[in-house]
């Protein structure tokens, strides 16, 4: 595909609460085995985009640990590759990334050197599959300046934390509001944009001169009436995980057979770093129902309607319900955990009881081990 991929993976999110304390949002574990950036990376590699740049800043190390080799996503090729950009001090700048547009601006030489005519920009905190060929074809067909992938949210889902979009009958975006106080439209931006590389360079250069740093606010919203910006509506599964509620809900979606089929079994696959865990092991007195269990786990208790991520240990007589147990958690005998998200590498003492009321409760129990993400 004649496009270069940019993945915006820099931000923190206070909506993630304590879960973002030690990791970037894009490094959040999803569905038992993935990290959220895997979805953007896999969509790029499955769309035959050979060159991908990832912009990161907040808790970047957590992401770099996951991206320690490009080969799992098939980017380690002579043509192309996976580039990790963190802020750096140069002769002309010593700034942090002040926003998404600034992150691109500080690495504009990379874009200037590329030869691909198009750029696909994606954020790294969404769960989806997408063939970017479809989006690019739409973009070309509409003769758009910028194409924004968007999705109609279910009516019960609040749209206020997204960019909301109103389109005309031909698909051209008439109104674009970033995180409105009251959303008038239920169509939201998926954070995926297609535009010509030269146009992007121009827009970024202008924004830089005007000291504007945010891609959405200072380019998409600002130029919504000036440039031909089109919306490409996707009907497939798409979900953003950048709040505790959405993170919990997205993971729980994976208990549905149709979601499992779509992500786990249908072509193309989602790639992730291979961790070589042994098969999951079940001893006596076990009951596991409507749950996902990853490899490397040892289960001795009851697990219902939950996701157990890799390498976790569930003690005898435990009762785990409606919960997400992240990687490498040790849960002692006789614990009850309901409606919780248990942070990775935790050590839960035998007999502990944790229950979330209303919203999922985040459980962080330091284990004294080296704190990896």
Partner 1 sequence: MIKKEIIAMLLAGGQGSRLGVLTSKMAKPAVSFGGKYRIIDFPLSSCINSGIDTVGVLTQYRPLKLNTHIGIGIPWDLDRNIGGVSILPPYEKMEHSEWYTGTANAIYQNMEYMESYHPSYVLILSGDHIYKMDYESMLRFHKQNKAGITIAVMPVPMEEAKRFGIMITDENKKIIDFEEKPEHPRSNLASMGIYIFDFKILKEALLAGKDVPGLDFGKHVIPYCKKNDISLYAYEFEGYWKDVGTLTSYWEANMELIDIVPEFNLYEEYWKIYTNNDIQPPQYFGKESDIERSIVGEGCEIYGKVYNSVIGRGVRIDKGTVVDHSIIMNGTVIGENCKIAKAIVDENATIGDNVVLGEGEEAENETRPDIYTDGLVTVGENSVIPRDVTIGKNVMINGRTESSDYPDGVLSSGRTLDKEGVE
Closest to partner 1 by CB, 47 vs 306, is: 306
Helix (H) or strand (E) holding 202: helix 197-209
- Of 39, 11, 5, 192, nearest to 110 by C-alpha is 5
Closest to partner 1 by CB, 32 vs 124, is: 32
Q: How long a stretch of residues is the chain?
A: 373
Binding-site member from 90, 93, 137, 289 for partner 1 (CB under 8 A): 289
Block residue for tokens 């990379």:
110
Cα distance between residue 35 and residue 286, in whole Å: 28
Question: Binding segment for partner 1 among 5-13, 145-153, 202-210, 295-303 (CB under 8 A)?
Answer: 295-303
Cα distance between residue 303 and residue 313, in whole Å: 12
Q: Is 242 in the site for partner 1 (CB under 8 A)?
A: no
What are the distances in angstroms from CA 44 to CA 51, 81, 351? 9, 12, 45
Question: Binding segment for partner 1 among 83-91, 129-137, 190-198, 290-298 (CB under 8 A)?
Answer: 290-298
Taken in order 335, 280, 125, 249, the sign of the CA dihedral is negative
Least separation in angstroms between residue 327's CB and partner 1 is: 12
Closest to partner 1 by CB, 137 vs 290, is: 290
What are the distances in angstroms from CA 268 to CA 36, 130, 261? 17, 9, 11
Total interface residues for partner 1 by CB under 8 A: 37
What are the distances in angstroms from CA 280 to CA 32, 161, 355? 12, 38, 26
Question: Binding segment for partner 1 among 60-68, 148-156, 284-292, 335-343 (CB under 8 A)?
Answer: 284-292
**Residue 66: helix, strand or coil by DSSP?**
helix
Binding-site member from 94, 170, 279, 368 for partner 1 (CB under 8 A): 279
Least separation in angstroms between residue 275's CB and partner 1 is: 9
Q: Is 296 in the site for partner 1 (CB under 8 A)?
A: yes
Is residue 26 within 8 A of residue 288, CB to CB? The reply is no
Closest to partner 1 by CB, 54 vs 288, is: 288
Q: Per-residue x/- marks for partner 1, 245-274, CB under 8 A?
A: ----------x-x--x--xxx------x-x
Q: Per-residue x/- marks for partner 1, 24-43, CB under 8 A?
A: -------xxx----------
Of residues 55-74, those binding partner 1 (CB under 8 A): 71
Helix (H) or strand (E) holding 44: helix 37-46
Closest to partner 1 by CB, 220 vs 303, is: 303
Phi, psi (rounded to 5 degrees) for 241: -105, 10
Least separation in angstroms between residue 3's CB and partner 1 is: 27
Of residues 145-184, those binding partner 1 (CB under 8 A): none
Least separation in angstroms between residue 328's CB and partner 1 is: 10
Binding-site member from 1, 114, 201, 280 for partner 1 (CB under 8 A): 280
Least separation in angstroms between residue 219's CB and partner 1 is: 37
Cα distance between residue 126 and residue 157, in whole Å: 16
Closest to partner 1 by CB, 78 vs 265, is: 265
Binding-site member from 105, 149, 188, 288 for partner 1 (CB under 8 A): 288
Closest to partner 1 by CB, 31 vs 183, is: 31
Q: Is 285 in the site for partner 1 (CB under 8 A)?
A: yes
Block residue for tokens 């319900």:
321
Taken in order 101, 102, 103, 104, the sign of the CA dihedral is positive
What are the distances in angstroms from CA 215 to CA 116, 117, 204? 21, 20, 8
Cis? peptide before 254, omega within 30° of 0: no
Binding residues vs partner 1 (CB under 8 A): 31-33, 71, 255, 257, 260, 263-265, 272, 274, 276, 278-296, 298, 303, 307-309
């Amino acid at each position: 595909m004649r496009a270069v991929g940019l993945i915006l993976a820099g931000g923190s999110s206070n909506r993630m609460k304590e879960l973002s304390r030690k990791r970037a949002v894009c490094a959040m574990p999803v569905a038992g085995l993935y990290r959220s950036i895997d979805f953007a990376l896999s969509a790029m590699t499955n769309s035959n985009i050979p060159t991908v740049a990832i912009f990161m800043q907040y808790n970047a190390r957590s992401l770099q640990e996951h991206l320690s080799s490009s080969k799992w996503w098939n980017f380690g090729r002579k043509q192309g590759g996976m580039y990790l950009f963190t802020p750096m001090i140069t002769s002309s700048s010593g700034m942090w990334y002040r926003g998404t547009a600034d992150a691109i601006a500080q690495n504009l030489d990379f874009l200037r050197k590329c030869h691909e005519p198009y750029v696909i920009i994606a954020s790294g905190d969404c769960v989806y599959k997408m063939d970017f060929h479809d989006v690019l074809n739409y973009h070309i067909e509409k003769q758009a300046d910028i194409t924004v992938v968007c999705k109609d949210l279910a009516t019960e889902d609040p749209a206020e934390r997204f960019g909301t979009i109103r389109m005309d009958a031909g698909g051209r975006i008439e109104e674009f509001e970033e995180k409105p106080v009251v959303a008038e439209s239920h169509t939201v931006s998926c954070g995926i944009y297609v535009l010509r590389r030269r146009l992007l360079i121009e827009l970024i250069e202008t924004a830089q001169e005007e000291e504007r740093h945010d891609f959405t606010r200072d380019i998409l919203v600002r130029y919504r009436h000036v440039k031909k910006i089109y919306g490409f509506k996707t009907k497939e599964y798409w979900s953003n995980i950048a709040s505790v509620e959405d993170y919990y809900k997205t993971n729980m979606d994976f208990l549905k057979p149709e979601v499992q089929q779509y992500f786990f079994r249908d072509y193309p696959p989602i790639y992730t770093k291979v961790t070589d865990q042994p098969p999951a092991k079940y001893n006596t007195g076990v009951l596991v129902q409507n749950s996902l269990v990853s490899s490397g786990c040892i289960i001795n208790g009851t697990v219902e309607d939950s996701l157990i991520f890799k390498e976790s240990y569930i003690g005898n007589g435990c009762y785990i319900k409606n919960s997400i147990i992240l990687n490498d958690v040790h849960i002692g005998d006789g614990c009850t955990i309901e409606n919780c998200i248990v942070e990775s590498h935790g050590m839960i003492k035998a007999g502990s009881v944790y229950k979330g009321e209303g919203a999922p409760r985040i459980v962080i129990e330091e284990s004294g081990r080296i704190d990896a993400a």
